[in-house]
């Protein structure tokens, strides 16, 4: 039995992961319910002999034969995960149960794509994996934050109870080509607004900070994590520790697009974290990984992608 299952494989990260797996000669089964994923992201793979696409929702059991599972299925932007919060929680929790059940049956190694949102609005900066987080369990972001936290719980309970081979990565802000143009995330928002000649929307003072990791760097880290020794389970932070304020990001995007957009300030959304920066010491030590793509270089690639897409 060989093969790699990628849930959420038609999404932003999932489609890039499928590309890398196919390039490595893997037999890839891409599963997606297309709530936020798009066939456009994987259309170039549809005729590849080692690629198979299946429409499926991970909140229902899946019966396939694979030896590795990357569980990426879940809407990841506030606009999308707050659209149907009950379904978002079910995707994280029922999805984890179903994929862990599959991994247990076929004795597959399984990786969970968790998130920096498990840290909530952090009191420690930067955030190490040992930090338990400060999360509102009943807020409008809780469906995603607590769903991912519960998924991590399930992974480690399956590991302890069934001695399964698990891997857990906590993904910090990632950007790049194939981002959804209407996902409400700051990079895609700013780029689309700048290309349309609109003012860039800044929430709050614009001094809240984020760390932005280019998608190629992130996928490399995920592959290294999956290939790491069985006794290294994580969780491990994956992200770029270079930190930028929203004002700095806006200025970079206006400069690269060559536009004349101004800044428009609006109130900060509920439970929006003020700071987010990964401590990647563990990834450096255990995976030999550090991000290599500078923000300016990654933004140029991402802006070029959005120019092409919006011109169609």
Catalytic residue among 63, 81, 131, 144: 144
Distances (CA, A) of 198 to 17, 193, 261, 263: 33, 5, 6, 9
For the chain, the farthest-separated pair of C-alpha atoms sits apart, in whole angstroms, at 58
Q: 267: Cβ–Cβ under 8 A, 6 or more apart, which residues?
A: 203, 204
* DSSP one-letter code for 74: S
Interatomic CA distance for residues 95 and 151, integer angstroms? 8
Residue 144 known to be catalytic: yes
- Which tokens sit at 19? 């590309």
Given a contact cutoff of 8 angstroms between Cβ atoms, the answer to whether 113 and 83 are in contact is no
Cα(first)–Cα(last) distance of the chain, in Å? Answer: 42
Q: Cα torsion for 116, 122, 287, 108, to the nearest 10°?
A: -40
* DSSP per-residue string spanning 9-62: TTSHHHHHHHHHHHHTT--EEEEE--SS--HHHHGGGTT-TTEEEEE--TTS--
Cα–Cα distance, 236 to 287 (Å, whole number): 10
Task: Please give the Cα distance from 73 to 37 (Å, whole number).
Answer: 9
Supply the DSSP string of 110-168, one letter for each residue.
EEEEEEGGGGBS-SSSSB-TT---B--TTSTTHHHHHHHHHHHHHHHHHHHHH---EEE
SS3 content of the chain, % helix, strand, coil (to 5): 40, 20, 40
- Residues acting as catalytic residues: 144
């Amino acid at each position: 039995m060989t093969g790699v299952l990628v849930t959420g494989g038609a999404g932003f990260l999932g489609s890039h992961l499928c590309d890398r797996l196919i390039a490595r000669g893997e037999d890839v089964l891409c599963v997606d319910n297309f709530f936020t994923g798009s066939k456009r992201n994987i259309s170039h793979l549809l005729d590849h002999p080692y690629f198979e696409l299946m429409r499926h929702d991970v909140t229902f059991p899946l019966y396939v034969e694979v030896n590795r599972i990357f569980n990426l299925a879940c809407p990841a932007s506030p606009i999308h995960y707050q659209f149907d919060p009950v379904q978002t929680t079910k995707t994280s929790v029922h999805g984890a149960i179903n994929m862990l059940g599959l991994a247990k049956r076929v004795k597959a190694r399984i990786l969970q794509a968790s998130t920096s949102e498990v840290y909530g609005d952090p009191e420690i900066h930067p955030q190490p994996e040992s930090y338990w987080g400060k999360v509102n369990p009943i807020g409008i972001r809780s469906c995603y934050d607590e769903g991912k936290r519960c998924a991590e719980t399930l992974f480690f309970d399956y590991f302890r109870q069934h001695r399964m081979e698990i891997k857990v990565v906590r993904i910090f802000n990632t950007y790049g080509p194939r981002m959804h143009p209407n996902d409400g995330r700051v990079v895609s928002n700013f780029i689309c607004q700048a290309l349309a000649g609109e003012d860039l929307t800044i929430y709050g003072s614009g001094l809240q900070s984020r760390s932005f990791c280019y998608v190629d760097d992130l996928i490399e880290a995920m592959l290294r994590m999956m290939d790491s020794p069985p006794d290294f389970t994580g969780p491990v932070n994956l992200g770029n520790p270079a930190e930028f304020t929203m004002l700095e990001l806006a200025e970079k995007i206006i400069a690269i697009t060559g536009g004349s957009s101004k800044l428009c300030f609006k109130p900060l959304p509920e439970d929006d974290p003020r700071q987010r920066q990964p401590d990647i010491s563990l990834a450096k030590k255990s995976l030999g990984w550090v991000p290599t793509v500078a923000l300016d270089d990654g933004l140029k690639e991402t802006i070029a992608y959005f120019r092409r897409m919006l011109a169609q």
